[in-house]
Amino acid sequence: MKIFIGGDHQGAQMGKELEKKLIEQGYQAEYTKIENNPQDDYPDFAFDVCKQVLKNKDSFGILICGNGIGISIAANKVKGIRCARVLNEGDAHHAKNHNGANVIAFGGLDENTVLNIVKTFIETPNPTEERHIRRINKIINYEKGA
């Protein structure tokens, strides 16, 4: 499993720290190659991370901006991406296990909270209950124009 990470100027420091921590824990993590600067735009980071997630089977993305809202909106414009803004471990669990999220987004959280959220997301199984799979398939089919 590969983890792609990106953040605008408000999320860059946390994103780079998160990359280091995940690598230390044995995960394959990669921070975006897009350069951060005080005038950067969160959609650029969302689109880059989402493209990487789609190109790499069984991978997922982590996006960080000021509050996680804008970057998650941008991510959800990429076909094939289901991004959830998460604030805690419960959100991370539901995002993956109920909604089949392949990207999570957040902002303004402390390092311990972020690490717990990411750990929960990694360890949570993909959806298996019929009701969750049915709902996810409705989203996928709508996205495909059905």
CATH number at residue 43: 3.40.1400.10
- The pLDDT score that the predictor gives to residue 25 is 96
Tokens of 17: 């720290």
- The pLDDT score that the predictor gives to residue 93 is 98
Tell me the pLDDT tens digit for each residue of 79-119: 999 999 999 999 999 999 999 999 999 999 999 999 999 99
Cα separations in angstroms, 88 against 52, 66, 75, 82: 25, 16, 19, 18
- In which domain, by residue range, is 85 found? 2-143
Quote the pTM value.
0.96
Tokens of 39: 């005038």
- The pLDDT score that the predictor gives to residue 146 is 81
DSSP secondary structure code for residue 78 in this structure? S
The residue from 50, 65, 83, 132 that is catalytic is 65
- Model confidence band, residue 4 (pLDDT cutoffs 50, 70, 90): very high
Tell me the pLDDT tens digit for each residue of 18-56: 999 999 999 999 999 999 999 999 999 999 999 999 999
- Model confidence band, residue 10 (pLDDT cutoffs 50, 70, 90): very high
Query: Is 65 an annotated catalytic residue?
Result: yes
**Mean pLDDT along residues 59-68:** 97
What is the count of structural domains for the chain?
1
The residue from 93, 94, 98, 132 that is catalytic is 98
106: part of which helix (H) or strand (E)?
Answer: strand 103-106
134-143, Cβ contacts within 8 angstroms, sequence gap of 24 or more: 135/99, 136/82, 136/99, 136/100, 139/82, 143/79, 143/80
